Amino acid sequence: MLAMVVLSALTALPPTGTYTVTHDSADVRFPVWEGLCGDKPAADTLDKRAVVRLKHYEQGTKFWIDGGQKLRVGSDLCMGDNPSLKVAGTPRSGPTVWEVKCDSARVVQWTETSTHTITVEGDVITVKQVQDKSRRIRRSRCKVRTERTVILRRDADLGATRSPDELKVGEVVKPKVTKAPPTYDAASIEKELERELLEETRLQKGAAKIIHQNRLDKEFYPVSATYLIDGKPLRDKQDKALPTVDPQTQLVILDDVLTTGVHSLEVKLVYKVASAGRIYRVELSDATFFDVTEDKPVRLLINTVEKGGLLTEKTESGRIEFYMNGKKLES
């Protein structure tokens, strides 16, 4: 622990101010890309000579590089497409190198892991990122790896009459005397990140209705029900857990809009079942993926039914089935 504290004390942050992009390249590979994955995505890079900003926060102990949607990295910040991306473990830092590993907390169209390494050599900053994204569209597996390198050079003489915050990406600025950059703290940088993330993730949305239809007989007494969209539990308008669905009834569990793209639905149900004079606890769980488009509403049906023959035990007969717009989905 002492060694880590000493290392942090000796770590000098790169200078604040504006930097110019001198190089930005990406190598995109597709380890697995099956039938329903669609068009292969291309890398989104910055134009050469674009302007980015480097800022300090938390009393000068951390930094971040703001290049808009195409580049946002820092000493303990994640860069990626999934808004649930979080730092995994403790970021590593040295006198001139910072390494951050990130992992997505839930599925938002993709699951994602990434590592970015920031190296500072004088007025030059090199950012290397390795990003792995994966998802499944029905039975098709989609995996993509992007390896990106960005090189930035500090503009020591820019910004005489304006702060670095006023400079725009790609703007041509004449060299002038540098003005001291503003001070940033943890609260202000968090608000700025949230605002920019909100602006950049305003995706098109499509209408979706999800209904649970319980066709089990009355010997299945419902105890609890959990429904998760992209790993997040659904709640009612009062932010309470959704009620259970009695046998031979149905319940609308979602009637809202979702962002367009692929989503996951996971269902976990618990029942008490009377069989042969005894009471058993039965757990049913299953999951599927479904597509939301802007032009066509989605009607998703969760169907709990009994399957099997005369010799099938009651406790083994319960099943979960998924239907979207009348068509059965694979689980």
Domain ranges of the chain: 2-200, 205-328
Total-model pTM: 0.50
Dihedral Cα 172, 174, 175, 181, nearest 10 deg:
-60
Q: Give strand pairing partners of 325.
A: none
Q: How far apart are CA 91 and CA 76, in angstroms?
A: 6
Which pLDDT does position 158 carry in this prediction?
45
Q: Which residue type sits at 180?
A: A
Taking 70 as the pLDDT cut, the residues of the chain under it are 1-11, 156-205, 331
Which pLDDT does position 228 carry in this prediction?
92
Which pLDDT does position 320 carry in this prediction?
92
DSSP string computed for 56-67: EETTTTEEEEE-
Q: Give strand pairing partners of 112.
A: 133
Which pLDDT does position 274 carry in this prediction?
82
Which pLDDT does position 11 carry in this prediction?
57
Distances (CA, A) of 111 to 55, 116, 292: 29, 17, 17
Task: Tell me the fold of 205-328.
Answer: Immunoglobulin-like (2.60.40)
